[in-house]
Amino acid sequence: MYAKIAINNAKRSIKDYVIYFVTLTICVSLFYAFMSLSSSNYKLITEDSYNFQMLQKIMEYATYVITALLVLLIGYVNKYMIKRRQKEFATYILLGTPQKSVAFMFFIETLVMGIISIILGMFVGTLFSQVVTALILMTAKQQIIFSFKLYVDTVIITFVFFIAMFCIIGLFNVRALSKIKLMDMLNDEKKTEFQFKRSKVIYIITFCIAVLLYVICGYCSYKILSVEPETMFTHSNAEIYIGLGVIGFIVGTYALFYSLAYIIIAIKERWTKFKYEYTNLFLIGTIVSKIKTAPILMATIALTFIGAALSFTLTLIMAQWSLGYLDYRLPYDLVVDNNYVFRSKIQDIRDIPKIDYNDINEYLSSQDYGLENYCEIEQYFIKDNDFYKMKKTGMPKPVTAISLSDYNQLRKMLGHNDIKLKNNEFTMQWDKNIDNSEINDYINHSSTLNINGNKINISSTPYYKESIGEYIYISDINAIIVLPDELCKDLTLVKTDFYANTRENMSYNEALQLEEEYIPNWFKQNYSYIFNNYGGSRPILTRLKVSETVEILNVTLAMRILGIYLGTVLLMISLAVLALQQLLDSIEHKGRFRILKKLGIDNREINKLILKQISLYFIMPIAIAITGFLILLNIFLEIFSEQISTFLGDKALIFNIGISLLLIIIIYICYFAATYYTFKRNIGNKSSL
């Protein structure tokens, strides 16, 4: 019998809480879609050169964490449902149902709703998983193939995960519900929530604190922007400013909402002209009463909204960034890097090995993919003394040198033209990221070099900035000196690196085999004496474009997808709470609008009023969120402006921000429209009075 009541109630609840139900269903479907990626039965059809195992792992765990945020929404809605329906529960109890059974009935009711949303969610999730697959395949530049399959293990995981979530919340509810006194249940309707609980002074002080905190936050962002971007993270003050700014904003937002109702009322009292304009009085009253009852919730919604917006934009930007960064960091197909100077215990400068890469060279040529071109690059110390500087931790690493012919070889591999140097000249290669003014500064200070007694000057072209890969730089300033070949003969070797391009792309497995087996083994065999004497965790580092591309693709995809997922979930939770706050009070609203009608407001005006009320209610927390978001985004773009223009380009930046804004706006409008129409329906404003 109780079960029957519970199921009937669930049916009715779905109607009342349709927005909550839809939000839940969408969240389940997103969960299912992402989980299905890590399903054992799931096969992503890609070429050999891509591998998405890492992505699947990242997604699996991140999805659990993000989805767990739903607990907040479910918990909130259930709490609200209990509050709304206490009178109904009291009636059951008065009719003789034990309080425990009523609590249990409510639990069953929410569970039925939950199970329906899980089942529906899984069907929608199958569609979503196709979208996600398409997204992955698109990033990997593959053809998109659709396959509609139900993954049994994912179905089970989804069920278990969500049911567990419902049960945990449900048990808390059962406990809470069986403890409420019958008397309180019956009297719950009489509310005193519109009162201000504290004195006037406290609200004014809180408001002043809020303003002060916002000012501090603004000052911090100003300070952060005035710090040179290069010294950003070495500059310890910057971190303090960032921390202070963020905390200031969060606390300020809470303080603002806490005192907002009082301030609005105070303003309203002074501003008679606005107050007495037609129905404004009614509008202000409704809005203020809502802020008054739930200031903390409103502030939390505002902050969640910022979180969602940041997660949308930043992850998209960062993903694009790291993709752009890859091309710049590793322009060659293969780099073997051997840096014994600071990756081992070598103490004597004479022990530094000279590595001969002939074997690798031959091995690569013998493979299917073949060798297009290659180069062995030797780096030298300008002074022998630099070796000891380099060994010391905490000291700035000195600039090293390479010979002109090696340098030209590298340039040739990347398609740049040769450069020329006179015998008594040198030039420099700088990282693309470094500011020109900084380079000029450096060069002005050290325009001459003393190489074993020969004094040489900087060339008329003092530096080059075309990207030749990031791994060549040892020194802290991300630069290297290019010397005429003659002068290098007498210098001490730092290390020998191997750069190569293959004719065809190698597969991921071949790359993996090369990186983890062939090259380490070859090194151990041929240079066993170094290996045995000086050890070092990774004696030789191999970087392959194929494997790095796969890794970066994995990471960027994970970032992109998870960013969108996290953003969507946060956004939906905050919007769902906003919407429900309006809709669940429709009983009270209905009464209020009925009174207005009796006072002589026609339906058209009432519809306008509803629109105004919901808009204001939706805009308020979002306005604060948008302000915060714009400030943060601006700071982010300002600090990383150089990197962004290098790796991302303005077009990609605008595109990515545009996409995220579009997504946010679409979700926002959906919730807004749904709230507006449901509200109108609840008020029953179709027929005339």
By C-beta, is 186 or 419 nearer to other proteins?
186
Q: Which of 61, 123, 194, 677 binds other proteins (CB under 8 A)?
A: 194
With contact defined as beta carbons under 8 Å apart, do 679 and 16 qualify? no
Looking at the Cβ atoms of 272 and 437, the one nearer to other proteins is: 272
Q: How far is CA 271 from CA 265, 405, 620, 621, in A?
A: 10, 79, 20, 23
Which residue's CB is nearer to other proteins, number 15 or number 270? 270
Distances (CA, A) of 249 to 1, 214, 216, 534: 53, 6, 9, 52
465 or 594, CB closer to other proteins? 594
Q: Which of 4, 146, 183, 195 binds other proteins (CB under 8 A)?
A: 195
DSSP-derived secondary structure letter, 487: H
Among the listed residues 283, 490, 484, the one whose alpha carbon sits nearest the alpha carbon of residue 402: 484
As a whole number of angstroms, the distance between CA 306 and CA 632 comes to 9
| In the complex, least distance from residue 130 CB atom to other proteins, rounded to whole angstroms | 48
Contact between 273 and other proteins per CB under 8 A: yes
| Stretch 162-191: interaction string toward other proteins, x if CB under 8 A | ----------------------------xx
Name the DSSP letter for residue 233. T
**Residue indicated by tokens 């982010």:** 636
Q: Contact between 270 and other proteins (CB under 8 A)?
A: no
Instruction: Please say whether the beta carbons of 213 and 255 come within 8 A.
Output: yes
| Residue number, 489 or 598, with CB nearest to other proteins | 598
- By CB under 8 A, the count of residues binding other proteins is 34
CA 588 to chain centre: 40
What is the footprint of other proteins within residues 305-364 (CB under 8 A)? none
Tell whether residue 192 is a contact of other proteins (CB under 8 A). yes
Of 455 and 598, CB closest to other proteins: 598
* 545-584 helix and 18-37 helix, angle to the nearest 10 degrees: 170
Per-residue tokens: 676: 């507006």
Under a CB-based contact definition with an 8 Å cutoff, are residues 301 and 577 in contact? yes
**Closest distance between other proteins and the C-beta of residue 183, in Å?**
19
- For the CB of residue 253, give the shortest distance to other proteins in the complex, in Å: 24
| Distance of alpha carbon 370 from the chain centroid | 40
- The answer to whether 360 and 519 are in contact (CB under 8 A) is yes
Residue 279 CB, shortest distance to other proteins, in Å, is 7
The piece of 173-181, 352-360, 486-494, 586-594 that touches other proteins (CB under 8 A) is 586-594
Residues 226, 236, 532, 688: which binds other proteins (CB under 8 A)? 688
Question: Could you tell me the smallest distance in angstroms from the CB atom of residue 289 to other proteins?
Answer: 4
Q: Is 689 in the site for other proteins (CB under 8 A)?
A: yes
- Map the footprint of other proteins across residues 233-252, applying CB under 8 A: none
What mask, x for binding other proteins by CB under 8 A, covers residues 587 to 616?
-x---x-xxxxxxxxxx-x-----------
End-to-end CA distance of the chain: 38
With H, G, I as helix, E, B as strand and everything else as coil, classify residue 427: strand
Nearest alpha carbon to residue 657 among 649, 433, 221: 649
Determine if 366 is a binding residue for other proteins (CB under 8 A).
no
Min dist. Cβ of residue 258 to other proteins (A): 19
CA 71/CA 213 separation, integer angstroms: 31
Which residues contact other proteins (rule: CB under 8 A)? 190-192, 194-195, 272-273, 275-282, 285-286, 288-289, 588, 592, 594-603, 605, 688-689
